Chains A and B, each alone.
Chain A
Amino acid sequence: MASATISRRDFVKNATGLVIGFSLFGQQLRAAELGEQSGFNGSPLPTQLDSWLVIGSDGIITVFTSKVDLGTGVLTALSQVMAEELDVSFERIHMITGDTSQTIDQSQTSGSRTLHKAGPQLRQAAAAGKHELLKLAAVRLDVPAEKLAVDDGVVSVVDNPSTNISYWKLLGGKRFDVAITATGTAAEMKVAPEISPKNAKDYKIVGASIPRIDLPAKFTGEFTYSQDVRIPGMLHGRVVRPEHSLARLVSVDENSIKDIPGIVKIVKEEHFVGIVAATEWSAIRASQALKAAWSEPEAKLPASRDDLYSYLKETKPFKEQLVANRGDFDAALSRSSRVFEATYHWPFHMHGMIGPSCAVADVRDGKATVWAGSQGTHRTRKAVADLLRLPENNVRIIYAEGSGCYGRLCADDVAEDAALMSRAVNKPVRVQWMRHEEHAWEPKGSAQLMTARAGVDPRGNITAWDFMDRYFPYTAGPGIPLLASTQTGLKPNGPGFPGNGYEYGTTGSGDLYAFENQRINCPVIPWIQNAMSHLRTCNLRAPGAVGRTFASESFIDEVAFHAGVDPVQFRLRSPRNQQRTSEVLLAAAKQAGWVERPSPAPAQTNPDKCVGRGAAMSDRDGAIVAAVAEVEVEKSTGKVTVTRVTVAHDCGLIANPDGLKNQIEGNVVQGVSRSLLEEVQFDENGVTNMDWSSYKTIRFEDIPEIDIVLIDRPELGFLGAGEASIIPVPSAIANAVFDATGARVRDIPLTPERVLRALQKLESRT
């Protein structure tokens, strides 16, 4: 997919005579050229058009957004949105992202909401900008605005194209200095709603597979990740954390590192310990050699997987979430021809980003600047300000992309670590976590315990549905101190407390379907209060929905099996909340070559290598996905191999088809990995799998073939695609394993041992 156009990099170089890479320092340089938006203490006003975009006299259009690229390519897509709405070529758009002093808080980058929520905000800012430019042009060219057309930023008179003027000449390097409407805050902010944007049917740039703006530099070492930020005079820091959850510092033996050269300072603040050194290697060596004594934990974690699920089952929830209570479930169940019940287990999962968290902080004279790969730099600003007891205006967080982010990682925690150590030595400090620290301390995706019950009529159709998901709240979140804050004595004070943390949704609980009698409850179970836990919990790609869908879409297949009905047909004949689901499911089935028949598969050509197929579907905020997984199960060992996954995907308007496919492929691969391999192991003191040999993720030899059908629905606008397609993958695989073998596995991951046990159980019954 070569690009016929010149790259933006070349464009910027040609236009300005300067090489401005798509990098952190490129951003800064660009900002300096344009004049800082509002200085160190800035909080740009959403009601000023200039806060959203600036048109340079060189024809470069700089767009400001708090949304950041977490490695998904969303900045390319947002640039397409801006170029489209402004009627300029894609290469003119330059993005400044996630700098708290220069960008409006449009909320953190999460929940597949960047295109969904910030897309229209930025589009409207662009539409307002174009509206102003046409007004200016109408005066300058002395024709009504309706008689003007725009081509790559050049406004010309429709019948007389030689009469024209460019956007940049119109503004002459000045700012708009125009007020616009902006109401509400963050993701719900409405920007210039009175301006009509372009009709989606006229889109030419949105909808094109424009190559990612960031990738060329990422393949040559020229891209500046947060791990690559270096500023003059910078020292290196490493943290020394306890081996266990919930431990407190008792003592530090400073003599234990006296032979290591280049130590600048052992930073001790209450229970926080870090080392600052002249070189990175000295800091690492010292952090490993430093003898620190920690207290025995005040509370223990559940000691095993069984203890964990007992805890989830038996602990009183601090919040019920009865999100559906239609009809009368109990009465309907008692009238049912048959009743089914099953329990499903979902483990703690890691985000497992390849590059451990890293930040550079410069804290001097009561001001802090921090470069970090945070999902939400405004959120990080508050955390760092609270930690340092500084007013928020004295803290500036500048986004520098980290390694791939699939939810909340430790980019905020490491920002605090760096800030604390920088303040202690009055110099800039870079901190990167080590691998074992990332594995231990990253907030995990929560374990879930799910129970489904259904009553069916004589034809096998579900008339009563009851679904319960018992899960832990986010114990890393707003108002909950991060690690360094906790260690230095900050107490939780957010709206999640008292209570223990934040609930995060209920989708995937069978809510795809509109059964006559339906009860859905997702009780939130209080988790270990102290944030200093290896098993902190927070958002991990489609949080909660992947586990719930594993349970609910497995259960649908279980009921379909008893009805003797093909699983796709069974879904099609069940009442659903969205009509679009049929089209998506049928598209996946067709592409996969789905043959209509009930599961399990009637005969296997190779009795030891059984093959099967399974389907599942999901709806996340209107983004509908169906997946068909094909597997091979080695009966003698229980090993499952996913050979092919077909996905049909409807996320409304598609911004960039190839970028979307890249996201879907990643979702599928991560979904297969989480389904077959991944589980956080722990004992009562904390996590025990601290490296990649004990927390296994998928490798090249196990990657399935991936087949994708994109369904474009421009009339729906952007619905978000960062995480929708991981949701149905585990259930499709579990259904395929059942199809291949007749054995139902209700625990993730589908390890060979578990599959073998299910096969043996099946054999002992027959």
Chain B
Amino acid sequence: MSRISLTVNGKARTIDVDPSTPLLYVLRNEFRLNGPKFGCGMSQCGACTVLSEGRSIRSCSVPVSSMEKRSIITLEGLGNSAHPGFLQNAFVEEQAAQCGYCANGMIMTAQALLDRNANPSVAEIKQALNANLCRCGTHVRIVRAVKRAAMERNKTGRA
């Protein structure tokens, strides 16, 4: 067991944990954050995506020990249903899911994209999301939602 300190959604957290534990299980089971999902455990599907220092990372494949003193944002950190983030809102507006299990990865990956490119083209959105799998086939709506989110964000100047 090791003591690990990290910041999650702006809150400083310290836990005693097997240091080899992937970040995903710490977020879900220790911090009760259900946004990130287990999909493959091999960085292949993207369902577990979170943000750390501006980059999207696959939390299923990152040992928590490597996150010591790092800052992490999960889906919950972008907003809640009373105060949704701009991407969450755009996903509702476009009804961009069926089962929604992949939505966490889509939104977090899109957040990282929009943080580095405020006005991506459709091709750039598809490229950014290409390593995120959706089995229900809501890709068309997801692309539309990201496009809408970018427009809304640019209009309001919100982060």
- Judge whether A219 and B95 touch: CB under 8 Å: no
Determine whether A317 belongs to the interface, using a CB cutoff of 8 Å to chain B.
no
CB 8 Å contact bits of A273-295 with B (1 = contact, 0 = none): 00000011110110000000000
Taking the complex as formed, is A126 at the interface, i.e. its CB lies under 8 A from any CB of chain B?
A: no
Given contacts A281-B21, A434-B41, contact A215 B133 (CB under 8 A): no
A227 touches B38 (CB 8 A): yes
Interface residues on B, range: 35 or more
Among B22, B37, B100, B133, the residue within 8 A (CB) of A692 is B133
- Against B, the Cβ 8 Å flags (1 = close, 0 = not) of A669-696 are 1100100000000000000000111000
Q: Is A261 an interface residue (CB 8 A)?
A: yes
Q: B40 near A215 (CB under 8 angstroms)?
A: no
Bound form: Cα–Cα A71–B25 in Å: 24
Interface residues of B in 104-159 (CB under 8 A from A): 104, 107, 125-127, 129-143
A21 to B82, CA, bound (A): 11
- Could you tell me the distance in whole angstroms from the C-beta of A435 to the nearest C-beta in chain B? 4
B42 within 8 A of A: yes
Shortest distance from the beta carbon of A369 to any chain B beta carbon, whole Å: 20
The interface residues of chain A lying within 8 Å CB-to-CB of B25 are: 279-281
Contact string against B for A residues 341-354, beta-carbon threshold 8 Å, 1 for contact and 0 otherwise: 00000000000111
Cβ distance A220 to chain B, nearest Cβ, rounded Å: 5
B81-109, CB under 8 A of A: which get 1 and which 0? 10010001001111101111111100100
Do residues A665 and B92 form an inter-chain contact, with CB atoms below 8 A? no
Residues in B27-43 with C-beta less than 8 Å from chain A: 28-29, 32-42
| Per-position binary interface string of chain A over residues 406-437, scored 1 when its CB falls under 8 Å from any chain B CB and 0 otherwise | 10000000000000000000000000101100
A441 to chain B, nearest CB (A): 15
A1 at the interface (CB under 8 A from B): yes
What does DSSP make chain A's interface, helix, strand, loop or mixed? Answer: loop
Q: Do A666 and B136 form a contact, CB below 8 Å, given A219-B100, A220-B75, A354-B102?
A: yes
Which of A281, A662, A691 meets B20, CB within 8 Å?
A281
Contact of A355 with B101 in the complex, beta carbons under 8 Å: yes
B18 contacts A by Cβ under 8 Å: yes
B37's partner among A285, A355, A699, A701 (CB-CB below 8 A) is A355
**Of B99, B107, B138, B142, which one neighbours A401 at CB under 8 angstroms?**
B99
Residues of B within 8 A of A72 (CB): 98
Chain A residues, Cβ within 8 Å of B51? none
A223 contacts the other chain (Cβ, under 8 Å)? Answer: yes
- Report the minimal beta-carbon distance from A292 to chain B, rounded to whole angstroms: 20
Residue of A nearest to B1 (CB): A261
Chain B's nearest CB lies how many Å from the CB of A176?
Answer: 33
- Given A223-B100, A354-B133, A355-B47: A662 and B33 within 8 A (CB)? no
Contact of B88 among A212, A219, A227, A673 (CB under 8 A): A219
Q: Which residue of A lies closest to B22 (CB)?
A: A281
Residue among A221, A224, A673, A692 facing the most chain B CB atoms (10 A cut-off): A221
Name the A residues within 8 Å of B32 (CB-CB). Answer: 230
Q: What separation, in Å, do the CA atoms of A706 and B140 have in the docked complex? A: 8
What's the least CB distance linking A579 to chain B, in Å? 31
Chain A, range 147-178, C-beta contacts under 8 Å to B = none
Contact A71/B140 with A219-B107, A692-B40 known, Cβ cut-off 8 Å: no
Q: How far is the CB of B59 from chain A (nearest CB, A)?
A: 13
Chain B residues contacting A404 (CB-CB under 8 Å) are: 98-99, 101, 135-136
Q: Are B92 and A662 in contact (CB under 8 A)?
A: no
Question: When the two chains form their complex, are residues B137 and A670 in contact, meaning their CB atoms are under 8 A apart?
Answer: yes
CA distance A221 to B97 in the complex (A): 14
Q: Is the CB of B14 closer than 8 A to any CB of chain A? A: no
**Is B44 in contact with chain A by the CB < 8 A criterion?**
yes
Residues 47 to 98 of chain B near chain A (Cβ within 8 Å): 47, 74-76, 78-81, 84, 88, 91-95, 97-98
Q: Jot down 16 A-B pairs with beta carbons below 8 A, ordered by A.
A: A215-B97, A221-B75, A221-B76, A224-B34, A279-B25, A281-B21, A352-B135, A356-B38, A401-B99, A662-B98, A665-B141, A670-B135, A670-B136, A691-B44, A692-B45, A700-B139
